[in-house]
Amino acid sequence: MDLHWSQPYLLLLLPFALLPWFNHSQEKTIAWSAFVPKDPWSTTVGLSLKILSSIVLISLILGLAGPYEPEKKVERLGEGAEIVLLLDRSRSMDDAFAVKTQAALVSVGKKDSKRRVAKSYLTEFVKKRPDDRFGFVLFSSQAIKLLSLTYSKEAILATINANAIGKGLKDTNMPDALIKAAEMFEDQPYRGSRIVLLVSDGGQILTEEEEKKIASLYKRMKISINWIYMSSMVGVTLDASDSDSYLWEDLPERKLHDFFNSTGIPYQAFEARSLKTFAEAIDEINQQQYQTLIVEQTLPRVSKHQPFYIIAFLAMLALTFAQVYSAWGVRKAHE
């Protein structure tokens, strides 16, 4: 046991535990020692009472010195993943989600905006995963690492909630966001499944240099990508089809989707077109990402004063009983 002391200076009082052994006040002068028979039982009892008195003093001093085990980190096996939430905070995420007409898209600040829908479902997702470690990256014109990887559910939930406040910016910097999300795992020991969960309603055409850097980072650090795509346009899909409009051929989100598929990085896209499909996407990700994970757990500081006070109490109880018994014996002797 690794004991520390909150008030170690009180340990200087420990020598006072020897006081019961200085009993000169009880010494008697006997004219003829033959009058006093040998009584080993009394000698044993007297010695025991001194020991008990010392135990009381030692226990009280140690208890008052504030013994404790300091906070420590331990590792255990759990099930889950290390997940970086990569959330689009561009202005388009303030538009209404799952609408069928262009006129209904403007819904800034209302409860059905994409960012608020994302907030609600991500909150439930985090609450369902007790062993996961979460990080959070927010991006629009720039990517910002809001929260490093942590086991604190309170911290990640507060970050998700704060992200739903205010209005988004105009531009989107997808390559910077993807790079900063991957960098969350830099210099981190590999504990198990690593995922970047991208929630966005659009994409961006990357340069060749950006594609190489992103692919290299994700492969080297063994990171998977899950993309929940919140489509803004009715009928638009990430995969091309024969019925597509020619205007959709060069959509940035399709180019990004094709890039993810071409890298060899574990990747899965979920096209959320309604609250139902968004919920289904979250549920599928939740069910998939349960692999063996080394979980680092912080054990809080533990106070250890109670056992010392219990020992002191029991010893004092024994001393009190001995004192009461002695007084009773003296009274009986004088009757």
Question: 154 φ, ψ to 5°?
Answer: -60, -40
Higher pLDDT, 38 or 278: 278
Give me the mean pLDDT over the 105-112 stretch: 52
Q: What pLDDT is stored for residue 60 in this prediction?
A: 94
Q: What pLDDT is stored for residue 329 in this prediction?
A: 72
- My answer on whether 143 and 241 are in the same domain is yes
In a domain, 32, yes or no: no
CA 186 to chain centre: 19
Q: pLDDT for 61-79, tens place per residue?
A: 999 999 998 887 776 677 7
133-139 and 143-150 strand pairing: antiparallel
Q: What pLDDT is stored for residue 104 in this prediction?
A: 47
Q: pLDDT for 118-175, tens place per residue?
A: 888 899 999 988 888 899 999 888 888 889 888 888 999 999 888 766 666 667 889 9
Give me the mean pLDDT over the 180-207 stretch: 88
In a domain, 281, yes or no: yes
Q: What pLDDT is stored for residue 108 in this prediction?
A: 44
pLDDT > 70? residue 312: yes
Percent of the chain with pLDDT over 90: 32
Q: What pLDDT is stored for residue 300 in this prediction?
A: 80
In a domain, 34, yes or no: no
Q: What pLDDT is stored for residue 107 in this prediction?
A: 45
| CB-based contact 68:6 (threshold 8 Å) | yes
Mean per-residue pLDDT of the chain: 82
Higher pLDDT, 104 or 176: 176
Question: 281 φ, ψ to 5°?
Answer: -65, -45
Q: What pLDDT is stored for residue 231 in this prediction?
A: 76
pLDDT category, 89, cuts 50, 70, 90? confident
pLDDT category, 195, cuts 50, 70, 90? very high
The residue type found at 36 is V
Q: Containing domain of residue 178, as a range?
A: 74-297
Per-residue HEC secondary structure of 221-278 comes to: CCEEEEEEEECCCCCCCCCCCCCCCHHHCCCHHHHHHHHHHHCCCCEEEEEECCHHHH
- My answer on whether 178 and 64 are in the same domain is no
- The answer to whether the Cα torsion of 42, 45, 51, 55 is positive or negative is negative
Q: What pLDDT is stored for residue 26 in this prediction?
A: 53
In a domain, 160, yes or no: yes
Give me the mean pLDDT over the 181-187 stretch: 90
Specify the 3-state DSSP secondary structure of 295: strand
Q: How many domains does one find in the chain?
A: 2
- My answer on whether 110 and 125 are in the same domain is yes
pLDDT > 60? residue 106: no
In a domain, 33, yes or no: no
pLDDT > 70? residue 19: yes
- CATH of residue 184: 3.40.50.410
Q: What pLDDT is stored for residue 239 in this prediction?
A: 73
- My answer on whether 275 and 185 are in the same domain is yes
Q: pLDDT for 275-289, tens place per residue?
A: 888 888 888 888 877
- My answer on whether 145 and 254 are in the same domain is yes
- My answer on whether 226 and 329 are in the same domain is no
Q: pLDDT for 254-265, tens place per residue?
A: 888 889 999 889
Q: Tell me the β-bridge partners of 194.
A: 82, 223
pLDDT category, 219, cuts 50, 70, 90? very high
Which residue, among 269, 150, 291, has the nearest Cα to 222 in the 3D structure?
A: 291
pLDDT > 70? residue 58: yes
User: Could you tell me which residues come within 8 angstroms of residue 331 by beta carbon, excluding any fewer than 6 positions away?
Assistant: none
- My answer on whether 19 and 166 are in the same domain is no
- My answer on whether 129 and 265 are in the same domain is yes
The DSSP 8-state label assigned to residue 187 in this structure reads: T
Question: Exposed (0-12), middle (13-18) or buried (19+): which is 314, by Cβ within 10 Å?
Answer: middle
Q: What pLDDT is stored for residue 110 in this prediction?
A: 54
pLDDT > 50? residue 105: no
Q: What pLDDT is stored for residue 109 in this prediction?
A: 45
pLDDT > 90? residue 114: no
User: Could you tell me which residues come within 8 angstroms of residue 239 by beta carbon, excluding any fewer than 6 positions away?
Assistant: 254, 257
Cα 111 to Cα 107: distance, rounded to the nearest angstrom: 8
Cα 119 to Cα 102: distance, rounded to the nearest angstrom: 23
DSSP-H helix ranges across 65-152 = 114-127
